[in-house]
Structure 1
Amino acid sequence: MGTQNYNNHRKYYPPHHFVYLPLLLGLEVFGIYKIFNDSEHQIVWILFSVIIFLILYLAVMIRQHYALGLQNRLVRLEFKQRYFELFNQRSDEVEEKLNFGQIAALRFAYDDEFKELLQKALHENISGDQIKKSIKNWREDLHRI
């Protein structure tokens, strides 16, 4: 992978995103196809499709819920630590004024830009996406889930 930036900072888990989910999606499409083309066993294919849909839904939602919840907590902790290191103060008051998108975006900025973008986020209320687009020297985060 080359240098990380705004265009390539998202990360995928290949077994989940490119094998498991497409396989479930394919089974769901096949089940729906069979509902309309196998009238003798239509109820079986309806049940099959409902079960596959529920498995697909649960696979997406549970993975997202746990991974994102944990990642969000870690991003907030990283922000608190970094703020303390840079300003030698607790970040509680500052953190309350920022939304999670802003906090998450700030982690991609190096310290000098972090300070500048933090002030913009606090005073101009720029969004997380605007913060990411404003970063000139992208600080890679290759350890995300």
Structure 2
Amino acid sequence: MQNYANHRRYYPLHHYVVTPLTLIFLSWSLWNLAEVFASGGDWLRELYLVVAAAILFLMPVISRIYALKNQNRIIRLEMRLRYFQLTGKPFTHQEKRLTMGQIIALRFAGSRELIPLIDRAIGEKLSPGQIKKAIMDWQSDYLRV
């Protein structure tokens, strides 16, 4: 069962294989460029390798950023819908006073505690971590990116 202690999600192929390997490749190519440059050799080939390695490193990082930004937009829409369903009012006023991190944290709250927790988060300026720790009825999400 998901809770505050285990809610973070790691995708092993991304976090432990692709990104570290591309970082190693980038580091290795930079090292080679430095060695060739120091020895006065033909550094143009090594420079091409550095550029290719940088592109390969950035590809999984950028794709992860795109996925997370899309997920954040969906979370914001989900919170707007939940708030409207619970109160019959738009979420606009509260949304402007919350950070995206706070909104993301609030989405784990059950319906009975969501509205009081929103008010508390705004009034006490709770951090996302504080909000998550305050949740009693944790709503699991196993579909996160």
- Determine the structure 2 residue equivalent to 1:128: 128
Following superposition, the deviation at residue 36 of structure 1 comes to 4.8
Following superposition, the deviation at residue 105 of structure 1 comes to 0.7
- Determine the structure 2 residue equivalent to 1:74: 74
1:92-126 CA distance string (max 9 Å, x none): 22222222111111111112221221110122222
Q: What number of residue pairs does the alignment pair up?
A: 142
Q: CA RMSD in A?
A: 2.1
Unaligned runs of 5+ in 2: none
Distance in structure 2 (CA, Å) of the matches to 1:30 and 1:122: 48
Alignment of 1:68-107 (within 5 A): 68-107=68-107
Distance in structure 2 (CA, Å) of the matches to 1:32 and 1:94: 48
TM-score, normalised on structure 2?
0.83
Distance 1:41 1:8, change over 3 A: farther
Distance in structure 2 (CA, Å) of the matches to 1:88 and 1:133: 27
What amino acid is aligned across from residue 141 of structure 1 in structure 2?
Answer: D
Distance in structure 2 (CA, Å) of the matches to 1:23 and 1:116: 45
TM-score, normalised on structure 1?
0.83
Following superposition, the deviation at residue 58 of structure 1 comes to 3.7
Quote the sequence identity (%): 39
